[in-house]
């Protein structure tokens, strides 16, 4: 099936929100001012949400910035995540998507990206999530490394301790009946940690989370370079597997280098299982030995040798931080992170979101546009302050060859129309005289 939304948007094949690669879907505002989102014109409607533009596309789903308005006039911006058209009829895919929503709907924690609702509209399954105005931890590490710098290790410890607190809550979450949900994230990576411009830290993406009702362990799931040894071997796992993955994240945040990524999956898996527990001090000499021991304990090969809970790892990190500079205020994290991104990169929508050339009919299910969009206004809203405008087409169908011809050469197209019209008129006149006589 052709998906006109996906096929019409160029330049984002490397984006994958499911893998946390949404990267910088951010809001560029002064840290001490109220946040204001530009009044983007809506390009589609899904349920009660105005769709403003696409943020990213992954292997299973697409992510859009959306806007809703309450009865009192309050405007709220959220993320709408929908299953790809080609995946919509895949029972396994829909089951995973709905399970992600079912799990995340029950989680309420300041460091967990909240899911507001899961629904279906015009045959499309979607999820509405909290919109985090920030960048991924993965992209921050990339930026720091690209500038041949190192992130202050106190800030790295601060971020990972917040993720540890989120995991501790998730691992201990209970259902309405009081029974443990027994959630294991299984995909704790820098891709799935978002840092807001206000200095908050959010864990997201429970797409492959394992719960007490999940069937068996099965094949390994997640990104191989962040899997625990027991996960690689497809052995039974528990929350300590997430602790190991968080240890890998801590190592990479402190050193700026990948720990277990190798040239092939087998090599990566072998390194995780067989290589000795690494030392961050072998890469970065200025890291204190006490912090090195925390990282090493999180990365222990045997679960019994690790922190037994994410909360235990959180307390170890916070205790170390208290002895080495004290708690990190949100404003310090916000200013540090923000310094690695320019104003254009902090816009709510990436520039390619303005370049839709197809139709949103597949998203809305409507035959006619539900929202009239002025092309000039739409293009202007994506100028991103650089003085230029990004062209767009908001037709409900893909442009035909004739459309493109008229756009590229109006004069030639007009002359061609006269010739064709004249030929047709002459043909009709000739036919009239033939039939008459």
368: its two tokens: 């006619």
CA distance 274 to 296: 15
> In angstroms, rounded to a whole number, what is the distance separating the alpha carbons of residues 315 and 389?
50
| Cα dihedral: 89, 91, 92, 98 (round 10) | 90
The residues assigned a catalytic role are 187
Give rounded-to-5 percent helix, strand, coil for the chain: 40, 15, 45
Residue holding tokens 């240890």?
A: 247
Say which residue the tokens 């009044």 belong to: 39
Instruction: Report whether 18 contacts 87 (CB < 8 A).
Output: no
CA 120/CA 139 separation, integer angstroms: 32
Q: What's the farthest any 2 CA atoms get from each other in the chain?
A: 108
Identify the three-state secondary structure at position 83. Answer: strand
Residue 91, SS3 per DSSP: helix
DSSP, residue by residue, 211-239: -TTS----S--S-GGG--HHHHTT----H
Give me 168's structure tokens. Answer: 């501790």
**What is the enclosing helix (H) or strand (E) of 127?**
strand 124-130
Q: Could you tell me which residues are beta bridge partners of residue 69?
A: 75
- Strands of the sheet containing 49-57, edge to edge, are 44-46, 49-57, 61-69, 75-83, 124-130, 115-121
User: How far apart (Å, rounded) are the C-alpha atoms in residues 299 and 290?
Assistant: 15
Q: Are 249 and 188 in contact (CB under 8 A)?
A: yes
Burial readout 129-146 (b: 16 or more C-beta within 10 A, e: otherwise): bbbbbbbbbbbbbbbbee
Tokens representing 286?
A: 């200025």
Q: What length does the chain have?
A: 437
């Amino acid at each position: 099936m052709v998906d006109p939304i996906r096929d019409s948007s160029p330049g984002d094949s490397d984006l994958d929100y499911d893998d946390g690669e949404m990267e910088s879907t951010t809001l560029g505002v002064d840290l001490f001012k109220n946040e204001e989102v530009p009044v983007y014109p809506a390009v589609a409607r899904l349920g009660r949400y105005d769709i403003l533009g696409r943020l990213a596309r992954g292997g299973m789903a697409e992510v859009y910035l959306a806007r809703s308005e309450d009865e009192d006039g309050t405007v709220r911006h959220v993320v709408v995540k929908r299953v790809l058209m080609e995946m919509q009829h895949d029972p396994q895919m829909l089951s995973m998507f709905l399970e992600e929503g079912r799990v995340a709907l029950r989680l309420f924690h300041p460091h967990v990206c909240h899911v507001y609702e899961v629904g279906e509209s015009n045959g499309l399954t979607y999820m509405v999530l909290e919109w985090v105005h920030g960048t991924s931890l993965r992209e921050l590490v990339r930026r720091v490394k690209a500038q041949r710098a190192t992130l202050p290790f106190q800030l790295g410890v601060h971020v990972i301790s917040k993720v540890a607190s989120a995991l501790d809550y998730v691992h201990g979450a209970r259902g309405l009946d009081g029974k443990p949900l027994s959630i294991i994230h299984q995909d704790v990576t820098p891709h799935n940690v978002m840092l807001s411009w206000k200095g908050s830290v959010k864990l997201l993406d429970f797409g492959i989370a394992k719960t007490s009702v999940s069937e068996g362990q099965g094949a390994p799931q997640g990104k191989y370079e962040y899997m625990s040894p027991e996960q690689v071997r497809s052995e039974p796992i528990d929350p300590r597997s997430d602790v190991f993955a968080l240890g890998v994240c801590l190592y990479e945040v402190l050193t700026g280098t990948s720990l277990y990524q190798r040239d092939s999956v087998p090599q990566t898996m072998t390194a995780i299982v067989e290589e000795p527990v690494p030392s961050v001090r072998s890469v970065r000499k200025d890291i204190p030995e006490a912090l090195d021991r925390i990282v090493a304990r999180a990365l222990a090969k045997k679960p019994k040798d690790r922190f037994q809970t994410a909360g235990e790892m959180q307390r170890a990190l916070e205790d170390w931080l208290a002895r080495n500079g004290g708690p990190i205020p949100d404003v310090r994290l916000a200013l540090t992170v923000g310094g690695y991104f320019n104003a254009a990169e902090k816009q709510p929508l990436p520039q390619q979101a303005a370049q839709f050339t197809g139709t949103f009919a597949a998203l809305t299910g409507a035959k006619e546009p539900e929202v009239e969009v002025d092309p000039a206004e739409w293009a202007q809203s994506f100028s991103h302050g650089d003085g230029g405008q990004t062209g767009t087409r908001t037709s409900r169908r893909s442009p035909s060859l004739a459309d493109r011809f008229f756009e590229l050469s109006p004069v030639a197209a007009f002359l061609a129309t006269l010739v064709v019209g004249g030929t047709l008129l002459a043909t009709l006149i000739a036919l009239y005289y033939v039939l008459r006589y």
